[in-house]
Amino acid sequence: RAKSAGGNRCETADPELDARAITSHGLTTALPAALERGEFFIEYQPLVHMDDGSVHGAEALVRWSHPQHGILGPDQFIPLAERTGLIVPLGRWVLQEAVRQARYWQEHHTEGGPLRINVNLSPAQLQHPGLVTDTVAVLERSGLAPGVLCLEVTESALIGADETLLRPLRQLAEMGVDIALDDFGTGYSNLANLRRLPVSVLKLDRSFTQGMQQLPVDPVDLKIVEGIVSLAHSLELAVTVEGVETGAQADRLRELGCDTAQGWYYARPGPPELLHALSLADAI
C-alpha cells in the first residue's frame, strides 16, 4: 500500500500509469473481472464542521487494488469505466458498500448523530435509467434514512443539463437525499443557473482554496470566495470546501463562513476505522 508522503489525490503505486497507458496495457477488459474478483475498495475521507471541528461524515473514494500495478486511483480508471459502461455496476457497488458502511457507523457510533455518507456519481450514472430505483433499493435494504446520503455530481456534468437529466436528481432530492455540486468553480457555470438545480450543497473546488494556503492571502481571492459563500447561503445551500491542507487555510475559510471542510489538514482518505477514531475523539 502506498503511504502518506507527497503526491496528489489517491497515492498510487504506479503514478506514471495514466488512463491511456492502462488502455494500452489491455486493462479495459480487466475491469469487469476486477469487479467480480472484489479488487475495488473504498477509502473514506472525513468531512468536518468548520465551527467546532466535529465530524460531519465522509466521502467514499474508490480505489482499484490491481494485482500487477498496485493501488490505482479513480483518475486512472474512472474515465475508462465511463467509456466502457462499467461505471454503472461499479457505481452501484460503491453506493451499496458506502451505504452499508454508513449503516454500520450508525449502529456502532451513536454519539453526535449519524455520520453522513457522500458518494460520487459520474455523468453516465446520471443518464442511466436505473439510478433512482437502484438508489431507493440500496437505501431500503440498509434501513438508512435518505437524509444520511449525499450524492456528489460535478458542476461540469450539470452544465447545460436539461430537465431529462435533472429529473432523477430532483426525485432523489424530494426523497431527502442531499445533492452536492462537486468541484464547484471549475465549470464556468452561470451562477443564476444554480437556482434551478436540485442541489443543497456546494463543494468549492480545491483550486479556489489553494491560494489560501499561505499568508498573506490575495485579497481578491478572499473576495471571490466570500462572494460565492454569501450567494450560496442566500440560496440556502451549505458550503463545503475541498483540499484544505493547512491550518491557515482552515482559519480563513472558517472566517469566510464555509460550513464543512475536507482535506489533508483534517485527514487523508483512509479505511473506515479512521472515522471511528475521529468520531470517538470528538466525543471526548
Binding site for Mg ion (CB under 5 A): 120, 152, 182-183, 205, 242
122 sits near ligand C2E (criterion: CB under 6 A) = yes
Q: What's the min distance (Å) between Cβ of 29 and Mg ion? A: 28
String of contacts with ligand C2E for each residue 134-173, x by CB under 6 A: ------------------x---------------------
Q: Which residues are within 8 A (CB) of 24 and not within 5 positions of it... i.e. 6 or more apart?
A: none
Applying CB under 6 A, among 101, 120, 135, 260 the residue interacting with ligand C2E is 120
Please state, in angstroms and rounded to a whole number, the distance separating the CA atoms of residues 58 and 80. Answer: 25
β-strand 260-261 against 149-154: which pairing, if any? unpaired
Residue 141 φ then ψ, to 5°:
-60, -35
Among positions 97, 155, 183, 259, the unique one binding ligand C2E when judged by CB under 6 A: 183
Q: Which does 263 bind (CB under 5 to 8 A by kind): Mg ion, ligand C2E, none?
A: ligand C2E
Binding at 57: pick from ligand C2E, Mg ion, none (beta carbon under 5-8 Å per type): none
Among 189, 269, 275, 278, binds ligand C2E (CB under 6 A): 269
Q: DSSP letter for 143, please.
A: T
Cα separations in angstroms, 259 against 52, 224, 240: 10, 16, 6
185 is a contact residue toward ligand C2E (CB under 6 A): no
The one segment of 3-11, 100-108, 171-179, 187-195 that binds ligand C2E by CB under 6 A: 3-11
The only residue of 2, 9, 41, 270 in contact with ligand C2E, by rule CB under 6 A:
9
CA atoms within 13 A on the CB side of 146: 15
Write down the residue that cell numbers 431500503 correspond to. Answer: 140
C-beta of 183 vs 259, nearer to ligand C2E: 183
Which x/- pattern over 201-240 shows residues binding ligand C2E (rule: CB under 6 A)? -----x----------------------------------
Q: Quick one: three-class SS letters along 123-188?
A: HHHHHCCCHHHHHHHHHHHHCCCHHHEEEEEEHHHHCCCCHHHHHHHHHHHHHCCEEEEEEECCCC
Please tell me what DSSP assigns to residue 11: -
Nearer to Mg ion, 152 or 259 (CB): 152
Is residue 32 within 8 Å of 41, Cβ to Cβ?
A: no
Q: Which stretch binds ligand C2E (CB under 6 A): 17-25, 102-110, 118-126, 275-283?
A: 118-126
Q: How far apart are CA 159 and CA 167, in angstroms?
A: 15
Tell me: does residue 241 bind ligand C2E (CB under 6 A).
Answer: no
What DSSP designation does 44 have?
E
Q: How far apart are CA 13 and CA 68, in angstroms?
A: 10
Query: Which residues of the chain form contacts with ligand C2E (CB under 6 A)?
Result: 8-10, 45, 61-62, 73-75, 78, 91, 94, 120-122, 152, 182-183, 206, 242-245, 262-264, 269
